[in-house]
């Protein structure tokens, strides 16, 4: 896919970029930044700020509409997308933040906010099962049968294989 990240900016001709931060508190990567060079989440290192940027381009030129591709190596989950205006020749931690959004990423596409709320409600108030022998957790929607969220819990408590339906 392409152009999953989209923003309508109030200026044309500027250089914008996005930074992806893990906002899933149940994840081992909570509050870590996606490093586009190492293709992994890491604790914020200010010297690495230039490696956190996902470029956005104005499309079409002069339209005030900026788009970018969500990094494909990021697993399914809930993330913050921070959008900055680049002030100099390269991204800098002091660049101006122009937009921020919390999104639900399925691993291949962004989901509407309603899907994220539905998934959260399923976890908080829904019908759930946990199979201890496999570590599989399944949370169902309010109908009690449709899976909203599933994942596997490892022996050290880390979640893997998260799926949001």
pLDDT one-digit tens code per residue, 61-103: 999 999 999 998 898 888 999 999 999 999 999 999 999 888 8
Both tokens of 26, joined, read 């149940």
Residues 88 and 130 in one domain: no
Both tokens of 146, joined, read 């449709």
- Average pLDDT of the residues in 45-57: 96
- Which segments of the chain does DSSP mark as H helices, in order? 113-125
Domain containing residue 19: 5-110
Residues 102 and 129 in one domain: no
Residues 66 and 36 in one domain: yes
Domain stop point among 87, 110, 133: 110
Sign of CA dihedral 4, 8, 12, 17: negative
pLDDT of residue 89: 95
- Average pLDDT of the residues in 31-57: 96
Cis peptide before 60 (omega within 30 of 0): yes
Domain stop point among 65, 81, 110: 110
pLDDT of residue 85: 96
Count of structural domains within the chain: 2
Q: In angstroms, how far is CA 81 from the centroid of its own chain? A: 6
Specify the pTM.
0.71
């Amino acid at each position: 896919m392409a152009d999953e990240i989209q923003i309508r900016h109030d200026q044309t001709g500027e250089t914008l970029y996005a930074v992806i931060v893990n906002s899933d508190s149940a994840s081992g990567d909570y509050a870590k930044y996606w490093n586009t060079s190492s293709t992994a989440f890491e604790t914020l290192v200010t010297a690495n700020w230039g490696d956190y940027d996902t470029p956005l381009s104005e499309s079409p030129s002069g339209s005030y509409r900026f788009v970018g591709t969500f990094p494909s190596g990021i697993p399914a989950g809930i993330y913050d997308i921070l959008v900055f205006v680049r002030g100099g020749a390269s991204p800098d931690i002091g660049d101006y933040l122009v937009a921020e959004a919390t999104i639900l990423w399925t691993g291949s596409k962004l989901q509407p906010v309603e899907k994220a709320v539905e998934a959260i409600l399923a976890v908080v108030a829904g019908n759930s099962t946990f199979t201890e022998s496999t570590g599989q957790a399944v949370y169902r929607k309010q109908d009690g049968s449709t899976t909203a969220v599933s994942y596997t819990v490892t022996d050290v408590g880390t979640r893997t294989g998260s799926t949001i339906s």
